Amino acid sequence: MKNKIIYAAAIIASVFAACSKDNTVVTPLPTTVKTKSITVNFSSATPFTFFSFKDTAVVANSDSATTKWDFALRLTTFLVNSNASGPGNAGVILQDALYDNVTAAPTSGYAYDTTSSQRAIKDGSWYDYNPATHAFVPKAGKTFIFKTADGHYAKMELLSVNYEPFTGPVPQRLIYNFRYTYQPNNDTKF
């Protein structure tokens, strides 16, 4: 079991390494699919992990009150950078569709973190929890369509959620692996 997680992490790392080479291409026009894995805290007493599509990077916790991030994660709780969660305008549509079939982002219909209990992404809406293995398996065929904090569009698909290897009975962190396409221009097409 442990070996498997490490093995998966290795694959993720290598996929990511391969993709980051593409980042050096500066031409802004074509959108590219990027794969990224981030580490997310398990315990509710710990901070969220903030992510920016534009920068393809985790944003420091000290920037949690800025528009630098688009979504944040802790355990299985998603925040988007709007209203109760942040100063941005980020919203999301969780669509039942294959990632490749989402070719354009709608211009309306986005859900926002209107209050701390009315969040854009409902916990449990995007994964199945397996009591036998305690795994959080992202539901296949769900595509997240984001309006980012700075008003651009991105589509995102979760590929895997694994436990970071741990000793003892309580896990510390989860590793989220996802792919996304960010549209840097004023365009809804992916």
- 130 CB-side CA count, 13 A: 10
Q: Decide the pairing of beta strands 77-80 and 91-96.
A: unpaired
Answer yes or no whether residue 47 interacts with other proteins by CB under 8 A: no
- Residue 44 in the binding site for other proteins (CB under 8 A): yes
Report the distance separating Cα 136 and Cα 19, nearest Å. Answer: 26
Report residue 18: phi and psi, to 5°: -65, -40
Backbone phi and psi for residue 56, each to the nearest 5 degrees, phi listed first: 50, 45
Report the residue from 140, 185, 187, 189 that binds other proteins according to the rule CB under 8 A.
140
- Contacting residue, 27, 62, 108, 167, with other proteins by CB under 8 A: 167
Structure tokens at 16: 């990511």
Closest to 179 (Cα-Cα) out of 189, 190, 171, 188: 190
Q: Quickly count: other Cβ atoms within 10 Å of residue 70's Cβ.
A: 31
11 phi and psi angles, rounded to 5 deg = -60, -45
Q: How far is the CB of 73 from other proteins (least distance, A)?
A: 11
Of 24-32, 70-78, 102-110, 144-152, which segment contacts other proteins by CB under 8 A?
70-78
Q: Which of 47, 87, 141, 151 binds other proteins (CB under 8 A)?
A: 141
* Nearest distance in Å: CB 127, other proteins: 8
Question: Which tokens go with 59?
Answer: 């944003």
Minimum distance from CB of 120 to other proteins (Å)? 13
Q: Does 62 sit near other proteins (CB under 8 A)?
A: no
Binder of other proteins out of 106, 124, 151, 185 (CB under 8 A): 124
Binding site for other proteins (CB under 8 A): 1-2, 11, 35, 44-45, 74-77, 96, 98-99, 115-118, 122-124, 128-135, 137-141, 157, 159-160, 163, 166-171, 179
